[in-house]
Structure 1
Amino acid sequence: MPPSHVLVPLDGSPLADEALAEALDLFECRITVLNVVTPLDAGMSEGGVLGAGEKRRESARDRADRLVARARDRAAELDRTVETAVGTGDPAETILEYVDESDVDRIVMGGHGGERGSLARRLLGTVATKVVGEAPVTVTVVR
């Protein structure tokens, strides 16, 4: 049975972009793209390394807004629409909560993000692993 609502978590990585392209290509249903802003005081967040501050929070939120707007534009190029959402928190937990609260029945996501060895890659690799292991719906991992 085809899904009726697909969630595509975006982090700005090429694989996340490929996950969006895959979802748009495969599914003719409601698609939501979600970017999760990790709190700057979280232990594994970029902010945990670089320091917190209002300017950093604004920058992270602006980046999230740009990512979901870019996804909306990519969908429009294909005469499609996507819903967009920006969450805050632990990425895997926020994705799983969104699934539970939003009637999502499929997740399509990248397997890892960023350059080899980067903090982003390690974090998203961990996120994908947790989502695959704990999601109550089918997860497609794009590699």
Structure 2
Amino acid sequence: MSPDHVLVPLDGSPLAAEALAHALATFDCPVTVLNVVTPLDAGMTEGGVLEPDGEREREAAERAERLVADARERAAAANRPVETAVETGDPAETILGYVADHDVDHVVMGGHGGERGSIARRLLGTVASAVVGEAPVTVTVVR
């Protein structure tokens, strides 16, 4: 059964870009790109070491807007419109919440990247693992 609404969480990684390309090429339905800004006071962000301030929060918001703008441009180049959203929170929880609140019936996301054992691989892998394990919908992980 083909999905009616696909969600692509986009974090700026190459695998997330591949996930967007896969979703646009594979599914003929609305696609939403979601960027989750992790609060600077979250434990695994730089906020765990640095105090949050307005400048870092502004930079994080600007980066998120650049990511979704780039996704809109890539989708337009493929002659496909996309909806975009930027939300703040724990990445896995926010993705799962978005699925529940917006009638998403398929998630396409990048798997973990980086060298085996690197912190980036463990963090990205943790998000993908949580979404795969908890989502009430089909999840496609692009690797």
Fold shared per TM-score above 0.5:
yes
Partner of 1:42: 42
| Number of aligned residues | 142
User: After TM superposition, what 4+ stretches of structure 1 lie above 3 angstroms from structure 2?
Assistant: 117-120
Partner of 2:127: 127
CA distance in 1 between counterparts of 2:83 and 2:46 reads 27
Q: Which runs of 5+ in 2 are unaligned?
A: none
Counterpart of 2:49 in 1: which secondary structure?
A: helix
User: Measured at CA, do residues 67 and 32 of structure 1 come closer, stay the same or move farther in structure 2, by a change above 3 Å?
Assistant: same
1:80 Cα offset (Å): 0.6
1:119 Cα offset (Å): 3.6
* CA distances 1:1-25 after superposition (whole Å, capped 9, x unpaired): 1000000000000000000000000
* CA distances 1:44-75 after superposition (whole Å, capped 9, x unpaired): 12321343111000000100000000000000
Partner of 1:7: 7
Query: How do 1:1-143 and structure 2 match up within 5 A?
Result: 1-113=1-113, 115-116=114-115, 118-143=118-143
Counterpart of 2:11 in 1: which secondary structure?
A: coil
CA-based RMSD of the aligned residues comes to 1.2
1:112 Cα offset (Å): 1.3
- Determine what percentage of the aligned residue pairs are the same residue: 73
Counterpart of 1:36 in 2: which secondary structure?
A: strand
User: TM-score scaled by structure 2?
Assistant: 0.95
1:27 Cα offset (Å): 0.3
CA distance in 1 between counterparts of 2:100 and 2:59 reads 28
1:105 Cα offset (Å): 0.1
1:99 Cα offset (Å): 0.2
Q: Tell me whether 69-78 or 48-57 shows the greater mean CA deviation.
A: 48-57
User: TM-score scaled by structure 1?
Assistant: 0.95
